Structure 1
C-alpha cells in the first residue's frame, strides 16, 4: 500500500484535476448531457491525465538532483530516494503505453494535440524552462491544448472569446506560479536559472495584464451575439462576478500569504475558492441548460 501511495504521488494524481479543462467545450456547446459526447470527453480526460503524469515523471527524472536541494520538491518520491530511477522509468513506460493505446482507440485530430502537448513539455523540461517569457507560455500552452483537445474530440465549435479567456487564464496562472517561485526560491542554489531574468515589478505587470485579459475576454464572451443566440439568454454575464472573485482571491492568497504555487492545492483547500467555484458551476449550468 505504501508503494502505491508513492506511485500516486510520483504521477501527481491530484494534478489530474487540471485536465477538467477538456470538459469546457462540452459544457459550453450544450452537450453535457449527451452520453456519446460525454463519453468522448471522459476519454480525453483520461488521455490527458496519463499524458500529464508521463510529463511529470519525465521532469522528475531530469530534475532529480535539482529537486533534492529544493525546500519543497525534496520531498517528492524520486528526490527523497523513496523510489528508484529504475522504478520511475518503468512507470514512465507504462504511462506512455496507456496514452498511446487510448489515442489509437479514438484516432482523430485530438491525438495530434496530445502529441504536441507531450512534445512541448519534454522540450520545456530539457531546455525551454530556462528561456524568459517562453517558459510561462509553455506552461500556459498545456491549459490551452486541453481546451482545444476537448473541442476536437467531440467535434464542436469553440468561441474565439472562450479561447482567449483560456489563454489569458493560463498565462495568469503560469505567471503567478513564477511570482511565487521568484519570492520563495530565487536565491536557492541550483534552482531555476530563469528566475534571475525576471524582476518582481515585471512579473506584477504581467499579472495585471493577464488578470485583466481573463475578465474582459470572459465578459465579452458572455455578451457575444453567438453566445446569446446559442443559450437563448443574456444572463451568462452575471457569472462574471465569480470569475472576478476567483481572480482576486487567488491574487490575495499569492500576494498576501505567498501560497498557491500549485493552483489545485488552492482549489482543494481554500474554502472561499471552493465555495466560489461551486457557485460558478451551479449558476452556469442553470443558465445554460435550465
Structure 2
C-alpha cells in the first residue's frame, strides 16, 4: 500500500519559521503595519498569517532548506510515493514553496480562517487520509497530536526528549538530527570578532600620549564593553533584516540566522537585551560617552534600515560609524579631538568601506550577477568604486603627511623626524589592501582580513614601532 508521506514546513522542511520571517520583512518594509498586528491577532492566528503573507514577499529559492530531509523526500518521490506539504503557514506561502520544489502532490495549509496547527492539523489529516492512513514528518511538541493519528513518525530537528515522546505514541521510522548549535554559534551571532573595531575607542588616549592615566583606562574598558554589546545588538538586528540578501551571498549564507542554526525569535529577544546591558554600562562611563553611543546606535539602525541600500551613502555611513568610535573614546575620557585625527580617520575608513563594497561586487561578478541584492550597486560600478577607494586611502596618507609638519608633532614627539617613517608604511598598507581586493582575496570585512593577514600585521607592528620611537626619541 502506498501510504502518503506528510511533511511539516517550519522547522522541518526549512530551518526557519515563515511567520517570523514574514513579520520581520513586513516591519522592515512597512513599520507602521506593526501597530495593526495585535488587532489582527485578536481575530485569530489564521487572519494574522494571511494579512502578513499578502503584504510581504519572499524568494523560495533563498530559504534554508533541510538538505538531508530534502534528499530523502526526493528519493521517496522517485519511488512513487505521494508527498503532502501540511503546515500552519499561510497557504499562499506554502504553495509558493511547493511550486518551487516541485515535490509535492498536495498542499494543506492555513487559509485565513483555520490555523492548521496542532490538533487542527491532526483533525484535517485524519479526515483527509483516515486514522493511521499517513506518515508524518514534524519537529516540535505541537506535532505530537499529529503523530498520534499517523501510522509512522519521522522526527526532524527534534531533541532526545521529543523523540522519546514520539516513540510513546507512534512508530518512529526516521530521525533527522538538528543542526549543531553551541558556543561557536552564539559567538558568530554576536560577531565577537567584530569587537576588534571597538579598540578604536582607545586611539584618542594613545594619540595624546596618556598611557599612564589609570582612570581613563578604566573608563575606556567600560566603554569598550558597552560599545561591543551595542554593536552586537545592531549586528543581530541587521542580520534579521537582511536574511534574504545574506542567503544569496556565498559566505554570509552561513551566518546563524541566515542558515537557520539560530531561530529568528531568539534574535528578536537577544537584540534589545544586549542594547539594555550596553546602555547600563554606558551610565558608569561618564562624560559625554552615552550621547555618542546613542548617536552610533541611531546611525547604525538607520544604516541597517535603509542607508545601506543607497549608493555612496552606505560607504560614507560606514566611514562615519568607524570614526564615531574614536569620537566616543575621546568623550569617555573628556579629551578634545584634533582636526588631524578626525580627517585622517574619515578618509582611511572611507577607503576601507569602499574596499568592503568592492569585494562584494567582485563576488557578484564571479557569480554572474549584475547587481548586489539589497544594495544599490551594479557590478559595472566596480571600477569607479575601486578608484574612489584608492583615492580616499591615499588622501588619508596625505593628511598624515601634513600632520607631521604641524606644531602638534613637535609638542608630542621627541624625535618628530622619525614619524615620517609612518608615511611609507601607510602607503604600503593602503596599496596592499587594494591589491588583495583586486585579486579577489579580500574578506567581507577589511579589518577582519587585516588582523589575519601577515603583511597587514607586519605593517601594523612597523607603524606602532615608528610612533613609539618618535615619542621616546632615539635609543642612542
TM-score of the two chains, using structure 1 as the length reference? 0.93
Residue 219, structure 1, aligned to residue 401, structure 2: yes
| Helix, strand or coil at the partner of 2:439 | helix
Residue 23, structure 1, aligned to residue 202, structure 2: yes
Work out the CA distance in 1 between the residues paired with 2:343 and 2:431.
Answer: 19
| Helix, strand or coil at the partner of 2:258 | coil
Q: Is the CA contact 1:70–1:188 (under 8 Å) kept in the aligned structure 2?
A: no
Work out the CA distance in 2 between the residues paired with 1:277 and 1:128.
Answer: 31
Residue 102, structure 1, aligned to residue 281, structure 2: yes
Residue 282, structure 1, aligned to residue 465, structure 2: yes
Match of 1:112 among 261, 286, 291: 291
When residues 189 and 119 of structure 1 are mapped into structure 2, their CA distance, relative to the original with a 3 A threshold, is same
Q: 2:107 corresponds to which residue?
A: none
Please list the CA deviations of residues 215-267 of structure 1 after superposition, one character each: whole Å capped at 9, or x if unmatched.
10111122211221122331222222221121111111111234233123322
Tell me how many residue pairs correspond in the alignment: 290
Please list the CA deviations of residues 43-73 of structure 1 after superposition, one character each: whole Å capped at 9, or x if unmatched.
2222221111111000011112322222111
Give 1:276 deviation, angstroms.
1.5
Residue 66, structure 1, aligned to residue 249, structure 2: no
Work out the CA distance in 1 between the residues paired with 2:230 and 2:263.
Answer: 21
Q: Is the CA contact 1:176–1:254 (under 8 Å) kept in the aligned structure 2?
A: yes
Alignment of 1:232-243 (within 5 A): 232-234=414-416, 235-243=418-426
| Helix, strand or coil at the partner of 1:253 | helix
For structure 2, the residue ranges without an aligned partner over 5 or more in a row are: 1-179
- What stretches of structure 1 move > 3 A for 4+ residues in a row? none
Q: Is the CA contact 1:223–1:237 (under 8 Å) kept in the aligned structure 2?
A: no
Q: 1:193 corresponds to which residue?
A: 375
Work out the CA distance in 2 between the residues paired with 1:34 and 1:262.
Answer: 32
| Helix, strand or coil at the partner of 2:377 | helix
Q: 2:390 corresponds to which residue?
A: 208
Work out the CA distance in 2 between the residues paired with 1:215 and 1:49.
Answer: 28
Q: 2:452 corresponds to which residue?
A: 269
Q: 1:145 corresponds to which residue?
A: 324
Q: Is the CA contact 1:29–1:157 (under 8 Å) kept in the aligned structure 2?
A: no
When residues 101 and 91 of structure 1 are mapped into structure 2, their CA distance, relative to the original with a 3 A threshold, is same
Q: 2:264 corresponds to which residue?
A: 85
Match of 1:166 among 342, 345, 349: 345
For structure 1, the residue ranges without an aligned partner over 5 or more in a row are: none
Give 1:2 deviation, angstroms.
4.4
Q: Is the CA contact 1:253–1:260 (under 8 Å) kept in the aligned structure 2?
A: no
- Say which is worse superposed, 223-232 or 80-89, in terms of deviation: 223-232
Give 1:159 deviation, angstroms.
1.8
Q: Is the CA contact 2:287–2:332 (under 8 Å) kept in the aligned structure 1?
A: yes
Work out the CA distance in 2 between the residues paired with 1:62 and 1:140.
Answer: 21
Work out the CA distance in 2 between the residues paired with 1:145 and 1:243.
Answer: 22
Please list the CA deviations of residues 115-158 of structure 1 after superposition, one character each: whole Å capped at 9, or x if unmatched.
11111111111111111111111111111101111111111222
- Greater relative contact order (CA < 8 Å, ≥ 6 in sequence): 1
Q: Is the CA contact 1:250–1:260 (under 8 Å) kept in the aligned structure 2?
A: no
Bigger fraction of residues in strand: 2
Q: Is the CA contact 1:182–1:200 (under 8 Å) kept in the aligned structure 2?
A: yes
Alignment of 1:127-138 (within 5 A): 127-138=306-317
Q: 1:255 corresponds to which residue?
A: 438
Bigger fraction of residues in helix: 1
- C-alpha root-mean-square deviation of aligned residues, in Å? 2.0
